[in-house]
Amino acid sequence: MDTFMVVEGEPERRQRPVRSIPDEGLPEPQPRYVVWEITLSCNLKCRHCGSRAGAPRRQELSTAECLALIDELALAGTKEAVLIGGEAYLRQDWLELVAAFARHGILCGLQTGGRALTEAKIAAAARAGLKAVGVSIDGSPATHDDLRGVKGSHAQAVAAIRHSRRQGLMTTANSQVNRRNVGELRDIFDTIIDAGASAWQVQLTVPMGNAADDPNLILQPYELATVLPELFALFREGIGRGLQLIPGNNIGYFGPYESAWRSTSGRAEYYGGCQAGRAGLGIEADGAIKGCPSLPTAPYAGGNVRDKPFGQIWRESAELAFMRDPVESSARRWGFCKKCYYGPTCRGGCNWTTHVVTNKPGNNPFCHYRILRLMDRGWREIIVHREAPPEGAPFDFGRFDIMVEDEHGQLHGQDVFDRDDVQDIAPGANANLDALVLCERCDRFHYQDEAECPHCRSWSAVDRANQHLDEIGKILSAINASPDASSRVLPDSVQHGRSVNECK
């Protein structure tokens, strides 16, 4: 799942999912944004719950253990922590944990389903130091109550948004998008605006936990070709209505809306790959440490704070470090992602989504760029359910195959992308794979130092300027060769053929 962070120094609406934050400028990985499942106890029965919440985990961390871990997180550089469950406020000592984060100057938020979350409880949390509340809204009242398994839960969730807003907390909403509610995005949008939320994060339901028991709940990749334009239309409308729509980290990537809805800092921004173990951290209620809260416990838990100090787990665990080396993590790509133009940057997208679908990371069929590229050929991808979850445990998953349906309706495996006639465009010879720039003509990203945008074949701004200088130089050279050229004085930069990059 994605949770919200506050962009320091920006207005309230400048928010984004914690896992979208790149680790630029950091000398080493740092667990800046922590999502902590402090209990698996829950008062809802969600059909799409990845952790199968309900009863508490066995041997959940004690208050003393939690407080000690908060001290360690502060020393490690944590800036923000979001408490989740289950339902976090069902843990009796949760306000002590909020207060401990506040003492360390760590911004603390709550992600909740909102059932029985009264204004008195929110007020007490605000006094303890809580700064933000995110509430899940998953459809119309009937759809939400059905997905959440409790009648009246929609009304209580909307009330929780209003309570939080009245208490002066940063108040957001989030929704999972699946086959049950995909036709109700407009209803959700209007509901949360009316309730007073300032941001709305959307993400795809993936087949983990309870959702893995109902494969028909999961959207097919090709359906996003219509879902994403609808979401972007709501994004545009939200700007004028005071709501920031934020695409979660399994929404995207690199389609025509990438810059518009991922840019929150006043400059062109884009998805920079999974932040698990780089800037993000997930903690399970029994002390297990993962690079991301959504990842399956196995094979991604790198240790338990009851066995090792947190700092040692963060520094030494291979399970947490799997995304830290860009070359190594990029090499795990397969299928379409293996030779995708954006592969060096995206590295296969959200590992949570790809692993629970295919049982390994590195190949994401829900990518917007990929969907559009295949549509250009008359192709589409479908996921075919092959295996059910074996255990019925938190974060368990089955297996799907990603099949490619060609223009003739024939199905192919992912090895079809190894064919020479089914290759994505390749970065240019001089491309700087460490940075993307936005094309002024088509609003798509391309790699820095490429002579032209590979998407629309327009020259980059610098190359266009240099081309124009060359043309001007040729014209002026012809003029200088004329009989009366001695009376003309030409600019030095033109006479000596200096490029735009040199004229600084």
In the chain the domains, ranked by start, together with CATH numbers, are 33-219+273-320 (3.20.20.70), 326-447 (no CATH)
Confidence of residue 5 (pLDDT cuts 50, 70, 90): very low
Sign, Cα dihedral of 264, 370, 47, 389: negative
SS3 sequence of 414-479: HHHHHCCCCCCCCCCCCCEEEEEEECCCCCCEEEECCCECCCCCCECHHHHHHHHHHHHHHHHHHH
| pLDDT of 10 higher than 70 | no
Q: What is the pLDDT of residues 417-464, one digit of tens each?
A: 999 899 899 999 899 999 999 998 999 999 999 989 999 888 655 555
Give the residue-averaged pLDDT of 317-341.
94
| pLDDT of 324 higher than 50 | yes
Structure tokens at 401: 């195959």
Q: What is the pLDDT of residue 39?
A: 98
| pLDDT of 11 higher than 80 | no
Question: Percent of the chain beyond pLDDT 70?
Answer: 86
Neighbouring residues of 194: CB distance < 8 A, sequence distance ≥ 6: none
Packed helices 94-103 and 63-76: angle between N→C axes, nearest 10 degrees: 30
**Better pLDDT: 501 or 248:** 248
**Better pLDDT: 423 or 24:** 423
Q: What is the spatial distance between Cα 358 and Cα 399, in angstroms, rounded to a whole number?
A: 6
Give the residue-averaged pLDDT of 37-43.
98
Q: What is the spatial distance between Cα 30 and Cα 26, in angstroms, rounded to a whole number?
A: 8
Q: What is the pLDDT of residues 382-418, one digit of tens each?
A: 999 999 998 789 999 999 999 999 999 999 999 999 9
Mean pLDDT across the chain: 89
Q: What is the pLDDT of residue 266?
A: 77
Q: What is the largest CA-CA distance in the chain?
A: 94
Write down the pTM of the prediction: 0.86
Contact 152, 113 (CB under 8 A): no
Q: How far apart are the first and last CA of the chain?
A: 46
Task: List, in sequence order, every beta strand (DSSP E) within 233-302.
Answer: 244-247, 280-283, 289-290
Q: Which residue type, as a one-letter code, is found at position 328?
A: E
Q: What is the spatial distance between Cα 152 and Cα 162, in angstroms, rounded to a whole number?
A: 16
| In the block, residue with structure tokens 């002579």 | 451
Q: What is the pLDDT of residue 13?
A: 38
Q: Tell me the chain's radius of gyration from C-alpha atoms.
A: 25
What is the DSSP secondary-structure string of 77-99? Answer: T--EEEEESS-GGGSTTHHHHHH
| pLDDT of 489 higher than 90 | no
Give the residue-averaged pLDDT of 290-298.
96
Confidence of residue 3 (pLDDT cuts 50, 70, 90): very low
Q: What is the pLDDT of residue 429?
A: 87
Contact 236, 265 (CB under 8 A): no
Contact 17, 5 (CB under 8 A): yes
Q: What is the pLDDT of residues 63-83, one digit of tens each?
A: 999 999 999 999 999 999 999
Helical spans, DSSP H, in 221-282: 224-241, 258-262
Contact 107, 145 (CB under 8 A): no
Neighbouring residues of 486: CB distance < 8 A, sequence distance ≥ 6: none
If one counts every other C-beta atom within 10 angstroms of the C-beta of residue 361, the result is 26
Q: What is the pLDDT of residue 265?
A: 77
Strands across the sheet with 199-204, in order?
244-247, 199-204, 170-177, 132-136, 107-112, 80-84, 33-37, 280-283, 289-290
Host H or E run for residue 400 = strand 399-405
Reduced to 3 states (helix: H, G, I; strand: E, B; else coil), residue 277 is coil
Structure tokens at 210: 């309870």
Give the residue-averaged pLDDT of 94-114.
98
What is the DSSP secondary-structure string of 137-201? Answer: --SSHHHHHHHHTSTTHHHHHHHHHHHHHHTT-EEEEEEEE-TTTGGGHHHHHHHHHHHT-SEEE
How far CA 287 is from CA of 85, 110, 130, 260, 471, in Å, comes to: 13, 19, 22, 38, 66
Contact 258, 269 (CB under 8 A): no
Give the residue-averaged pLDDT of 246-266.
91
The length of the chain, given as a count of residues: 504
Highest mean pLDDT among 141-150, 256-265, 418-427, 476-485: 141-150
Q: What is the pLDDT of residues 262-290, one digit of tens each?
A: 988 778 999 999 999 999 999 999 999 99
